[in-house]
Amino acid sequence: MSTAPIGQYEKQPTVPLPAGARVLTGAAAWTAAADTAAAKAADRAPLLVVDAYPGADLPLLTEAIADALPRWRIVDVEADAAIPLAQINARFADNLTDDRVFGVLSHATVDAFYDPERLDKLAVEVDGAAEPTVLIGWGADLVARRLAAPYALVLADMARWELQLRQRAGAPNWRAENPDEDRLRKYKRGFFVEWRVADRHKTTLFDRLDFVLDANAIGAAEPDGRAAGMITGEAFRTGLANAAHAPLRVVPFFDPGVWGGQWMKRKLDLDPSKPNYAWCFDCVPEENSLLLEDAGGAIVEIPSLDLVLSQPEALLGERTYARFGAEFPIRFDFLDTMEGGHLSLQVHPLTDYIQRTFGMHYTQDESYYLLDAGDDAVVYLGTKDGVDQEAMLADLRTAAAGDRPFPAEDYVNAFPAKKHDHFLIPAGTIHSSGANSMVLEISATPFIFTFKLWDWGRLGLDGVPRPVHIDHGERNLVWKRDTAWTEANLVNRVEVVSRDGDVVEERTGLHELEFIEVRRHWFSEQAAHDTQGTVNVLNLVEGDEVEIISPTGAFAPYTVHYAETFIVPAAVGPYVVRRTARSRSERFGTVKASVRGTQEA
């Protein structure tokens, strides 16, 4: 049972490591890794391989290893065998494009960044070494796997959010000379190339890992004093396998924005000195972290994507995994405009377009669920009846050129919005959340594929105009989604599914063009659920505190507070959401998203 105050949003949720697992830090961690390498080496000089995610602070990591293992030779694989930056840029020019935001997904593997002859040469040198050796760097395993000799393998892993914070603070992309480059271009290089390749590579290591190191804590952009912890590969694998069979939360992160509001700062107990918070990424496993905690309270931070990549069937369910592969298709995040400004007027790409243009195999269908709203809150959604398409596009381009503002109200519907309303937004629909709204965005997960059409004449926090993509938008706007169609299909399409005592189950969306199904449950005591073989993502949208229990005792009760998003893996099966003994609320509400058509019969 949680000891936090009633209803207090937990910003650092943890996942327990298996019994007996221990987080090692400092010299003790590297001594354990060296001992494992020595035990494997038998009568040879031991070899320790530290394969580091691109963006890890190699100088600091090397310094820590050198201090702990002074008699070991350390070889930087990146410095000795990576191809030159100009060659990398030429190799991936078609993926990176000239656009500030959008590229094309790369299907390369990590060896594309390395000179095979230099890798071979390094392997020969290491194979004949008389002293114990550490191979370090992204792709270090490329050298080690060329050897017949056994070695100890460490993955120095990092989450995408930490990488983004470092890049904003001036860190370059992997081996790139771009410390001062626009952060959107840095993100683009990571998203379309580096992280895709790195995730593809590290999945080849999971089953062989001897240790996993928390590289987020080495050179952290926002240091919190936490030591860089290391756990065994067995603890990593078992911990993730256990996590895929019980409710869990990923670590949320918060970000300011030009339109950001004040609701999250007050309701979620965030830093009051910040001017605003625009986003909270409350459940985006590709970018969030997991905090793995041992019995003594020591923590190792790993990307929550590791859970998706290593346990896709147990987490997602057989049918969802078959449909999407090892990707988490559902995203929950917060958009706070309370006392802030409008979101950009935008549209998301149609499926065919996102596939042909960017290489992403599904698109960002979404919806706005109103956690809270001011009296004047509106959601912009769909074009007005009888809109002149050419006139609207001309006015958008005039506004983008800075000649005069775009008259949004002349072209786009503005629907009044109140707490617990749900607006559905299939790809191709023009939309925006107005000021004074607190939105729980329930959507598919393709990240950055938003075509801004008009941003109300604002600059970004960096003082640079935020990019608009009217040409992309024009090719994806579905003009038939006018006032009549939008009202009939996308605004508060609530259908009561069942009533059982005090439990009311409602279907609130999404539209038939979207693959996500959303159900809302109202109850005063408890509501029974079943994953039916597919992952469930829920948020407590009403009430102070509930707990998730297993009818069979398969997992320990899991406490959830107001506004927290939590994941129930497919492998869980039946579960119950009920008030806790200390709950004071009279009524509770959850919204639950799943992938439509993947439930077991």
Residues 449 and 501 grouped into a single domain: no
Residues 22 and 101 grouped into a single domain: yes
pLDDT at residue 601 greater than cutoff 80 = no
Min mean pLDDT across 65-74, 189-198, 218-227 is at: 218-227
Residues 503 and 464 grouped into a single domain: no
Residue 208 forms part of a structural domain: yes
| pLDDT (mean) for 575-580 | 98
Task: Give the pLDDT confidence score for residue 1 in this predicted structure.
Answer: 39
Q: Label residue 469 by pLDDT band (50, 70, 90).
A: very high
CA–CA dist 285, 252 (Å, integer): 10
Q: Label residue 446 by pLDDT band (50, 70, 90).
A: confident
The phi and psi torsions of 100 (rounded to 5 degrees) equal: -70, -30
Angle between helices 58-68 and 26-41 (to 10 degrees): 70
Task: Give the pLDDT confidence score for residue 6 in this predicted structure.
Answer: 76
Residue-wise pLDDT for 318-363, tens only, equals: 999 999 999 999 999 999 999 999 999 999 999 999 999 999 999 9
Domain's final residue, options 431, 462, 489: 489
The domain containing residue 465 runs over which residues?
A: 313-489
CA–CA dist 124, 118 (Å, integer): 10
Residues 430 and 346 grouped into a single domain: yes
pLDDT at residue 128 greater than cutoff 60 = yes
| pLDDT (mean) for 534-543 | 98
Residue-wise pLDDT for 487-497, tens only, equals: 999 999 999 99
The phi and psi torsions of 487 (rounded to 5 degrees) equal: -60, -40
Mean pLDDT of the chain: 95
Residues 461 and 501 grouped into a single domain: no
Angle at 132 between CA 128 and CA 135, to 5 degrees: 85
Residue-wise pLDDT for 582-600, tens only, equals: 999 999 999 999 999 888 8
pLDDT at residue 526 greater than cutoff 90 = yes
Min mean pLDDT across 127-141, 429-443, 457-471 is at: 457-471
Within 10 angstroms of residue 420's Cβ, the number of other Cβ atoms is 18
> Beta partners for 345?
454
Q: Where are the beta strands (DSSP E) in 304-461?
A: 330-336, 345-347, 366-373, 378-383, 412-416, 422-425, 431-433, 437-444, 451-454
| pLDDT (mean) for 106-125 | 97
| pLDDT (mean) for 47-58 | 98
Residue 5 forms part of a structural domain: no
CA–CA dist 101, 450 (Å, integer): 10
pLDDT at residue 3 greater than cutoff 70 = no
Is the separation of the CB atoms in 545 and 561 below 8 Å?
A: yes
Residues 64 and 196 grouped into a single domain: yes
Task: Give the pLDDT confidence score for residue 319 in this predicted structure.
Answer: 97
Is the separation of the CB atoms in 440 and 505 below 8 Å?
A: no
Within 13 Å of residue 584, how many CA atoms lie on the same side as its CB? Answer: 3
CA–CA dist 341, 457 (Å, integer): 12
Residues 219 and 347 grouped into a single domain: no
Task: Give the pLDDT confidence score for residue 459 in this predicted structure.
Answer: 77
Domain's final residue, options 209, 228, 243: 243
Task: Give the pLDDT confidence score for residue 279 in this predicted structure.
Answer: 95
Instruction: Show Cβ contacts of residue 263 under 8 Å, excluding neighbours closer than 6 positions.
Output: 336, 338, 339, 371, 372, 438
Within 13 Å of residue 208, how many CA atoms lie on the same side as its CB? Answer: 15
| Percent of the chain whose predicted confidence (pLDDT) is above 90 | 93
For the domain that residue 78 is a member of, what is the CATH number? Answer: 3.40.50
Instruction: Show Cβ contacts of residue 398 under 8 Å, excluding neighbours closer than 6 positions.
Output: 404, 406
Residue 453 forms part of a structural domain: yes
pLDDT at residue 168 greater than cutoff 90 = yes
CA–CA dist 508, 268 (Å, integer): 26
* Distance set, CA 571 to CA 133, 219, 245, 530 (Å): 42, 37, 5, 10
